[in-house]
């Protein structure tokens, strides 16, 4: 593959960023100890550290880093696929209203006190279900017979999003309950996430990412327009349906555990495209890596920069990502 070098470099960076993120934290545990704790967990051995240090590394930092990687990868891959599907650079994983739908579900569950008896998982489940239902609604609204035009899809996405967002605002405003959980959930973040959350999204996101990569060739064909794709043997309508379902599930899973983290799904695919061009066979795996790296790094900053307090991760993704993207757009883009 022509871009093997870039790919290898990104994997290496991902490994480095992941490892150093586990080593960095509010409590100072030196890198040697951290690595020993992890090695010990896998291979067994005699601990020379305190149980508290082991809890911090194995139960707090490692799952959080993994989750950041998964969410970043999922959002970036969805973004890349949807940008191509809609042939629209403004497309991101939330374009069909999944974020506002999930937020409404989360707010409804939190404010009504309804419980499905799943404890920790009530909120993610409600967010996931409402998010995917919203996309389904958008799709049905845009469907005429068996055909769905991408323009109608985008527009009904915008309309349904606005409607859902108004419902959420109404709920928030009329509620007398504590609102901080809803508000922080909408700001997005990975504070307090555990292994349970990792297990919850791992199957959805990894399967989704795999499917995206498998559809790289048809996506390439689709870039020439639906008609040309048809002549190239691609069933555009089928492809559209599959990609919409997969991206809804992947994004819904990501949103369920991390709230609404903006920017990753929009900017990372563009950065990847600027680096390696539009071939989806390279672009998709690259977006996955870059998304994971970016979100792991952003979350590390979020939990350390004003420690012991936590910063909302969305602040960092936009604050660091936007200037970097502008730099690429202005200087690297003009060279290429």
Partner 1 sequence: MRSLLITGTLLVMISAAGCIQAGESSLKTSTMTDDTGAVVEVPVKVERIVSLAPSETEVVCVLGQGDRLVGRTDYCNFPAEVRDIPSVGGPKTLSIEAIVGLRPDLVLATTITDTTIVEGLRAVGVPVLVFRLESLDDVYANIACVGDILGCSDTAELVVSGMRLREESVRANTCHASPVRVMYVLWDDPLIVAGNNTLQNDLITAAGGINIAADAEGYVIISDETVVSGQPDVIIVSETHAAGTVPIKERLLEKPTLSDIPAVKTGRIYTIDGDLANRPGPRMIETLEMFASCMHA
Binding site for partner 1 (CB under 8 A): 25-27, 51-52, 55-56, 59-61, 112-115, 119-120, 173, 176-178, 180-181, 184, 189, 191-192, 194-196, 303, 306-310
Nearer to partner 1, 11 or 120 (CB): 120
- In sign, the C-alpha dihedral spanning 68, 22, 64, 200 is positive
Rg (CA), the chain: 20
Nearer to partner 1, 32 or 119 (CB): 119
Taking the complex as a whole, the smallest distance from the CB of residue 108 to partner 1 amounts, in Å, to: 13
Residue where the block lists tokens 């190239």: 232
Taking the complex as a whole, the smallest distance from the CB of residue 49 to partner 1 amounts, in Å, to: 13
Count Cβ atoms below 10 Å from residue 234 Cβ, excluding itself: 20
Taking the complex as a whole, the smallest distance from the CB of residue 178 to partner 1 amounts, in Å, to: 6
Closest of 184, 189, 186 to residue 64, by C-alpha = 189
> What one-character-per-residue DSSP string does 88-118 give?
-TT--TTTTSHHHHHHHHHHHHHHH----S-
Contact between 205 and 66 (Cβ < 8 Å): no
Taking the complex as a whole, the smallest distance from the CB of residue 244 to partner 1 amounts, in Å, to: 31
Count Cβ atoms below 10 Å from residue 150 Cβ, excluding itself: 16
Distance CA 271, CA 89 (A): 12
Taking the complex as a whole, the smallest distance from the CB of residue 56 to partner 1 amounts, in Å, to: 5
Nearer to partner 1, 192 or 203 (CB): 192
Nearer to partner 1, 7 or 184 (CB): 184
Nearer to partner 1, 222 or 313 (CB): 313
Taking the complex as a whole, the smallest distance from the CB of residue 120 to partner 1 amounts, in Å, to: 7
Nearer to partner 1, 165 or 181 (CB): 181
Taking the complex as a whole, the smallest distance from the CB of residue 25 to partner 1 amounts, in Å, to: 6
Burial class (CB in 10 A: 0-12, 13-18, 19+), 58: middle
Q: How far is CA 34 from the centre of its chain?
A: 27
Nearer to partner 1, 8 or 183 (CB): 183
Output 16-21 pairs: Cβ under 8 A, ≥24 positions apart: 17/293, 17/296, 17/297, 17/300, 18/65, 18/69, 18/296, 20/300, 21/61, 21/65, 21/68, 21/296, 21/297, 21/299, 21/300
- Give the three-state DSSP class for 236: helix
Nearer to partner 1, 56 or 244 (CB): 56
Nearer to partner 1, 92 or 299 (CB): 299
Taking the complex as a whole, the smallest distance from the CB of residue 265 to partner 1 amounts, in Å, to: 22
Taking the complex as a whole, the smallest distance from the CB of residue 93 to partner 1 amounts, in Å, to: 23
User: How far is residue 306 from each of residues 185, 300, 311, measured CA to CA in Å?
Assistant: 20, 11, 7
Altogether, the residues listed in the chain come to a count of 336
């Amino acid at each position: 593959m022509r871009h093997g070098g870039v790919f290898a470099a990104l994997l290496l960076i991902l490994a480095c960023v992941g490892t150093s993120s586990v080593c960095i934290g509010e409590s100072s545990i030196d890198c040697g100890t951290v690595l020993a704790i992890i090695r010990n967990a896998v291979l067994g051995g005699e601990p020379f550290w305190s149980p508290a240090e082991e809890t911090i590394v194995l139960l707090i930092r490692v799952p959080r880093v993994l989750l950041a990687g998964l969410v970043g990868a999922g959002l970036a891959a969805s973004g890349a696929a949807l940008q191509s599907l809609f042939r629209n650079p403004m497309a991101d994983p939330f374009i069909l209203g999944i974020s506002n739908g999930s937020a409404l579900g989360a707010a409804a569950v939190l404010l009504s006190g309804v419980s499905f008896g799943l404890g920790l998982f009530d909120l993610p489940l409600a967010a996931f279900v409402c998010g995917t239902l919203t996309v389904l609604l958008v799709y049905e609204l845009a469907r005429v017979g068996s055909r769905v035009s991408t323009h109608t899809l985008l527009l009904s996405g915008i309309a349904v999003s606005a409607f859902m967002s108004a419902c959420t605002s109404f709920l928030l405003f009329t509620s007398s309950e504590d609102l901080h959980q809803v508000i922080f959930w909408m700001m997005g973040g990975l504070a307090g996430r555990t292994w349970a959350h990792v297990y919850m999204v791992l199957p959805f996101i990894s399967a989704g990412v795999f499917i995206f990569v498998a559809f790289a060739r048809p996506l390439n064909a689709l870039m020439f327009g639906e008609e040309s794709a048809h002549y190239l043997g691609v069933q555009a309508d089928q492809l559209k349906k599959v990609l919409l379902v997969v991206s809804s599930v992947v994004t819904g899973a990501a949103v369920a555990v991390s709230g609404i983290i903006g920017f990753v799904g929009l900017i990372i695919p563009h950065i990847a495209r600027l680096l390696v061009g539009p071939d989806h066979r390279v672009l998709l795996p690259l977006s996955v890596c870059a998304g994971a790296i970016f979100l792991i790094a952003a979350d590390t900053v979020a939990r350390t920069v004003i420690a012991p307090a936590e910063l909302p991760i969305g602040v960092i993704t936009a604050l660091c990502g936007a200037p970097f993207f502008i730099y690429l757009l202005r200087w690297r883009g003009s060279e290429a």
